[in-house]
C-alpha cells in the first residue's frame, strides 16, 4: 500500500508541476496585467491560514506515531496530550484541515467581492491553482474520515489500521508541502 501511494503521489506532483507551469507562463505572457489583482491578496490572513495547515502536519505526524504504537485511543485524560491516540490526533488534524478550507472559502468570497474573478489572467490562475489544491485538501479530509472510521470499528487496532494511517499521512504531508510552495509563489513572488 505504501509504494502504491508514493507512486500515486508522484503523479500528483506532476499535476501540480503543470499548475506551476501554467502560473509562470501566464505571468510571463500577461506581464502588463499581472500586477493588477495582487494587491487584493490578504497576506496576513493567508499566512495565518497557512500556519493552521502546516501545524496540521504536526498533529498528523503525532497521529502516525500513535498508530505505530498501535494506540487507537487516548489512554489518559483528554488533557494529557501525550497519551492521545490516532483518533484524537487525526480528529484534530481533520478540524485544522477544515478550518483551512473554511479560510479559503472566506478568502475567495472576499476576493470576489473586491472584483477579482476568473475573467482576468491573474484571477483565473489564482482560483485554478488554489482551487485544485483545496480539492486535494478535501480529499485528505475524506481519507481522515475513513481512517477514523477504521480506528473506531477495529476490534483490535493492528498493522493494517496503522498502515492506513501512515499512508494517509503521506498524502497529507504532500498536500501541505505543495501548499507551502503555492503560498510562497502566489503571495510573495510579485
Number of independent structural domains in the chain: 1
What value does the CA radius of gyration of the chain take, rounded to a whole number of Å? 19
What's the pTM?
A: 0.91
Quote the domain boundaries for residue 73.
2-188
pLDDT value for 73? 81
Please give the average per-residue pLDDT across 79-91, as a whole number: 89
Angle ∠(84,88,92) on CA atoms, nearest 5? 125
pLDDT value for 33? 67
- Please report which confidence band the pLDDT of residue 142 belongs to, taking 50, 70 and 90 as the band edges: very high
Kind and range of the H or E run holding 29: helix 2-29
Q: Cell numbers of 60, please? A: 498528523
Q: Which residues contact 162 (CB under 8 A, 6 or more apart)?
A: 67, 68, 70
CB contact at 8 A, 23 and 178: no
Question: Which letter does DSSP use for residue 81 in this model?
Answer: G
User: Is 141 or 30 the better-scoring residue by pLDDT?
Assistant: 141
Question: Which letter does DSSP use for residue 76 in this model?
Answer: S
Q: Is 66 helix (H, G, I), strand (E, B) or coil?
A: helix
- Residue among 5, 137, 29, 149 nearest 91 (CA): 149
- Please report which confidence band the pLDDT of residue 182 belongs to, taking 50, 70 and 90 as the band edges: very high
CA dihedral 71, 73, 76, 82 (to 10 degrees): 60
Measured CA distances, 111 to 27, 72, 130, 167, 176 (Å) = 19, 41, 13, 35, 23
pLDDT value for 35? 65
CATH at residue 6: 1.20.120.80
CB contact at 8 A, 133 and 31: no
Q: Cell numbers of 141, please? A: 479530509
pLDDT digits (tens, 9 = 90+) for 3-37: 888 888 888 999 999 999 988 888 888 777 666 66
Amino acid at each position: 500500500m505504501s509504494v502504491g501511494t508514493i507512486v500515486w503521489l508522484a503523479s500528483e506532483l506532476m499535476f501540480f508541476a503543470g499548475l506551476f507551469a501554467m502560473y509562470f507562463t501566464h505571468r510571463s505572457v500577461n506581464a502588463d496585467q499581472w500586477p493588477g489583482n495582487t494587491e487584493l491578496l490578504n497576506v496576513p490572513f493567508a499566512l495565518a491560514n497557512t500556519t493552521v495547515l502546516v501545524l496540521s502536519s504536526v498533529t498528523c505526524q503525532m497521529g502516525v506515531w500513535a498508530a505505530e504504537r498501535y494506540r487507537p485511543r487516548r489512554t489518559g485524560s483528554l488533557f494529557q496530550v501525550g497519551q492521545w491516540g490516532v483518533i484524537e490526533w487525526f480528529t484534530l488534524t481533520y478540524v485544522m484541515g477544515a478550518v483551512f478550507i473554511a479560510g479559503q472559502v472566506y478568502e475567495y468570497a472576499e476576493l470576489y467581492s473586491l472584483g477579482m474573478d476568473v475573467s482576468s489572467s491573474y484571477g483565473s490562475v489564482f482560483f485554478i491553482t488554489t482551487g485544485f489544491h483545496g480539492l486535494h485538501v478535501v480529499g485528505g479530509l475524506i481519507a481522515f474520515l475513513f481512517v477514523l472510521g477504521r480506528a473506531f470499528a477495529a476490534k483490535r487496532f493492528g498493522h493494517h489500521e496503522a498502515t492506513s494511517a501512515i499512508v494517509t499521512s503521506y498524502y497529507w504531508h504532500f498536500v501541505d508541502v505543495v501548499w507551502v510552495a503555492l503560498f510562497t509563489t502566489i503571495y510573495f513572488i510579485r
